[in-house]
Structure 1
Amino acid sequence: MNQHLVRAGRIDITRLANGLTVATERMPEIATATLGVWVGTGSRHEQAHEHGLSHLIEHMAFKGTARRNARQIAEDIENVGGDINAATSVEYTSYTARMLGENVDVALDVLGDILINSVFDPAELAREKGVILQEYASVEDTPDDLIYDAFMESAYAGQAIGRPILGTPDTIKAFDEATIRAFLAREYVPAKMVIAAAGDVEHARIVDAAERHFGAMPATAEREPEAGRYTGGERRISRKLEQANLVLGLPGLSFKDPGYYAVHLFAHILGGGLTSRLWHEVREVRGLAYSIDAFHWPFSDCGLFGVGAGTAGADVAELMKVTLGCMREAAEDISDVEMVRAKAQMKVALLTALETPGGRIERIARQLLSWGRIVPSEEIVAKVDALTAGEIHAAGRSLLLGAPTMAAIGPIKGLPSVTKIAAGLRP
């Protein structure tokens, strides 16, 4: 391991009396400050009638509070040269801002206001529902996006973790202020929230501002989501399209599982770059796809491994045959060169994410919510470096024993059945 690649800064952490965590990392070479509030709640925490609510709440956070209308929220941030954003995922929702270090109080004032004092005006709510319905329609019209939603729904059938983040037209239209406030009271609790800041920041100043704007939130017990249960299955959507989009999946591992890094490395070797098995064989040698990649999506209690590609309808069967062959071979025969290359790719991806304040606060927040501590980069890099070819082979073989998930859209007449695909994964 090249130790000089890992620059561990000082991270100060304070927990407020109500359970909210504040963490900062001062970066003397940075003149700006990036900070945000992470909530350990996402789409998997929604009940059936709340499907899509996390995403709607993220949108509505910028639509007006008791003190500010939507325009004033934007103006207060942009008047000091800043910007503000938010994002929703399966397990987290984040609200972030960036500005000069001298203006962090403005950012925390706005973030506290939108998270605690939003008014959910009926007119704004109706407008934003319309925006999200357009977003939903856009996904429906984009096959390479739609197929991943279908893939998740098939892999985790009948569960919140498998449902699309956007919701459905029926659930979106049904949301009202009472539903929103009930969800916020249950899920946006201090014990599940982290304020993280990096760049030109002073820890004491951030803690003081956090106490002013968030300290009055009542301490409330956390509610654990339903455990993710991989089911496997298939979803075939026949459409008259120029290309077929396919996603083949298998049960993966949680990021808390000891075998997580081995599975992740297997995914890199199989389809993580221009020198990967799949890219070389499928694209370069046979010309069966413009792009193909392997991925591993880890969650807090489960995970999902997969391969995604697009191809002509006439090549669907051949693409699947070659893909299955590459997967079997990778599980049995990995070269030293591939090991070294994949480890380097993983370390570069890890360390590159830490080169910006935004990347640092995301790491800080996610690790504190997941582990209750900051996991040093050296610790992660050491685990990657310690992996052996035998461990990667074992991870690959274990993956291939799982029940497959198959999602496909477009001209897919030649696609084998999921039963034949499962047989093709066996040695």
Structure 2
Amino acid sequence: MSVQVSRLSNGLTVATETLPHLESVALGVWVKSGSRHETEDEHGIAHLLEHMAFKGTQRRSALDIATEIEDVGGEINAATSVETTAFYARVLKDDLPLAVDILADILTESKFDPEELEREQHVILQEIGAAHDTPDDAVFDRFTETAYRHQSLGRSILGTPDTVQAFTSQQLHDFLERQYGADRMVVVAAGGVDHDDFVREVEKRLGDFRPHADQMKPQVAHYVGGDYREMRDLRDAQIILGFEGRAYHARDFYASQVLSMILGGGMSSRLFQEVREKRGLCYSIYAFHWGFSDTGIFGVHAATGDTGTEELLPVILQELSRAGEQIDQQELDRARAQFRASLLMSRESPSSRASQVARQLLLYGRPIGTEELMDRLGGLTVERLTDLSARLFSSKPTVTAIGPVGKLMPISAIRDNLSWRQPQSIAV
């Protein structure tokens, strides 16, 4: 079934994808507001607001929110990312009106009670501590901080102990009113749902939501690269090598996604075969490409024991350099097949489908079908990918490493290997 889209009089976008064979519905509200929309003093408030939305409204206590959805066998949750925040649920199709009501309630009538706020601040402080104590989480926080240092995009989503503890209920209300407007929100449902019925339910509960939010545009991101190494007494090392990637709307965005699959998207990928299987230099390695609205980042993450760090980066760099010289048609075809399979498999999950539609509406203003995506991938050639590789991997590198990393290849040697020279006008 195709996606149906309606827009309410206040500008709120409502979309559905009907899957008539399903008895359940996945639905949610996605907002174009995340951690990069915070000011420096608000670091962590988007994530805290997401938590506090479930801590009581004018009509429901925190316990009421949990029990009402679970009394009908449903589930409800939320997530904060760099550029969006999502509040979502999954219920049986007959309970859709209840789920819409609860989601609308937490968005329009949350109290942000000071006592609940104090308890939730303590919970998030524990999250921050746990993230710091988990090297494979901490290395990614350091990675974005280094690649986009002194910018909102580079700050961790969780915030810091100082900022999180300082927030007040009024600040949460102010952030919500400033960031959440109907023109920056989409409500999506996928599964056993009738479009017209869903639109009516959303209209009843969110039709009067403020049309526009008085929000400031996020700071334009500038990839800067850099080097961060943290010696810890651990049995393994967590290492990321990264480069400037491509934004969602950039011509080479999908090419970058495919390149990440060729280099490190599975057990047949170049990095897995060369670094892990043939040389045994690590126990885990993969490549990734993250796109944002105005920038992107390409990276390779590896986890290795304390004896493999010296040889690891030279071998990775060798493979990246080889990608700029030659990519086989068979590799491109395999990556396209992986991409297509991933898309089709995700369509079997109503939650994944609702999330995909919401993301496409927020990013592109319209849903994008699987065939259109495959047409874009079909236009890729090995020549284009080798050219992209040569350009990507000659950008400023970002290196972050945590653990026994004293023998890790120095950043100066990495730059020399990539034939990159920093302009004299830019300070290290």
Instruction: Please say if 1:401 is aligned against 2:407.
Output: no
Bigger CA drift: 416-425 or 389-398? 416-425
Ranges in structure 1 where 5+ consecutive residues have no aligned partner: 1-8
Matched, 1:155 2:157: no
Matching residue of 2:38: 46
Within the candidate set 265, 268, 278, 1:275 is matched to 268
Which residue is 2:425 aligned to?
none
Aligned equivalents of 2:270 and 2:115: distance in 1?
53
Q: How far apart in 1 are the matches of 2:180 and 2:33?
A: 7
Give the conservation status (yes or no) of the 8 Å contact 1:313–1:414.
no
Q: 1:206 matched to which residue of 2?
A: 198
The answer as to whether partners of 1:327 and 1:425 remain within 8 angstroms in 2 is no
Distance 2:190 2:158 in 1: 30
Residue-by-residue CA offset, 1:101-120 (whole Å, 9 max, x unaligned): 11111001100111110001
Match in the other structure for 2:99: 107
Q: Does residue 384 of the first structure (1) align with residue 359 of the second (2)?
A: no
Counterpart of 2:163 (choices 168, 171, 184) is 171
SS at match of 1:33: strand
* 3-state SS of 1:229 partner: coil
Residues 28 and 199, structure 1, Cα contact 8 Å, conserved in 2 = yes
- Tell me how far 1:10 sits from its aligned partner: 2.2
Distance 1:186 1:384 in 2: 38
Q: 2: distance between equivalents of 1:214 and 1:67?
A: 16
Is residue 66 from structure 1 mapped to residue 58 from structure 2 by the alignment?
yes
Which residue, out of 396, 418, 423, partners 2:416?
A: 423
Q: Which amino acid in the other structure matches residue 153 of structure 1?
A: E
Deviation sequence 1:250-295 (CA, Å, 0-9, x none): 0000111111111111111111110111101111111110010111
> Does 1:182 find its partner at 2:174?
yes
Moved more, 10-19 or 400-409: 10-19
- For the 8 Å contact 2:323–2:390, the answer to whether it is kept is no
% identity of equivalent residues: 46
Q: Does 1:25 align with 2:17?
A: yes
Task: Answer yes or no: is 1:75 the counterpart of 2:84.
Answer: no
Q: Which amino acid aligns with 1:376?
A: G
Of 275, 278, 285 in structure 2, the residue corresponding to residue 292 of structure 1 is: 285
Distance 1:347 1:228 in 2: 31
Distance 1:119 1:291 in 2: 45
Q: For residues 304 and 34 of structure 2, what CA distance do their matches in structure 1 show?
A: 33
- Contact 1:328/1:426, CA 8 A, preserved across alignment: no
Partner of 2:355: 362
Aligned to 1:319: 312
State the one-letter code of the partner of 2:16: T
Which moves more between the two structures, 50-59 or 329-338? 329-338
1:136-191, CA deviations, whole angstroms, 9 ceiling, x for partnerless residues?
10011101110000000000011111111000000000011111111101111111
Distance in structure 2 (CA, Å) of the matches to 1:223 and 1:201: 35
RMSD value over aligned CA atoms?
1.1
* Matched-pair contact (CA < 8 Å) for 2:238–2:401: yes
Measure the CA separation in 2 of the matches of 1:12 and 1:338: 36
Query: 3-state DSSP class of the match of 1:339?
Result: helix
Q: Does the residue aligned with 2:212 lie in a helix, a strand or coil?
A: coil
Q: What TM-score comes out, normalization by structure 1 length?
A: 0.96
Is the 8 Å Cα contact of residues 33 and 101 (structure 1) preserved in structure 2?
Answer: yes
The number of aligned residues is 419
8 A Cα contact 1:159 1:228, kept in partner: yes
Distance (Å, rounded) in 1 between the aligned partners of 2:136 and 2:24: 37
Unaligned 5+ segments in structure 2 are 421-428
> SS of 2:123's equivalent?
helix
Pick one of 77, 87, 102 that aligns with 1:95: 87
Q: Distance in 1 between matches of 2:91 and 2:210?
A: 29
What SS does the aligned partner of 1:13 have? strand
Aligned structure 1 segments of 4 or more residues deviating by more than 6 angstroms: none
Q: What TM-score, normalized by structure 2, do the two folds share? A: 0.96
Distance in 2 (alpha carbons) for counterparts of 1:386 and 1:324: 28
Match of 1:241 among 207, 224, 234: 234
Given residue 317 of structure 1, which amino acid in structure 2 is its aligned partner?
E
Please tell me the residue identity of whatever aligns with 2:351: G
The CA deviation at 1:385 is 1.8
Amino acid at match of 2:121: K
1:205 alignment partner AA: D
Asked if 1:143 corresponds to 2:138, the answer is: no
Deviation at residue 416 of structure 1 after TM alignment: 2.1
Q: How many Å apart are 1:205 and its aligned residue?
A: 1.5
Which residue of the partner structure matches residue 254 of structure 2? 261
CA distance in 2, matches of 1:113, 1:256: 34
Q: Cα deviation per residue 1:348-397 (whole Å; 9 max; x = unaligned)?
A: 11222221111111111111111111111111111112210000001100
Deviation at 1:317, TM superposition (A): 1.8
Three-state SS of the structure 2 residue aligned to 1:314 is: coil
Distance 1:264 1:33 in 2: 30
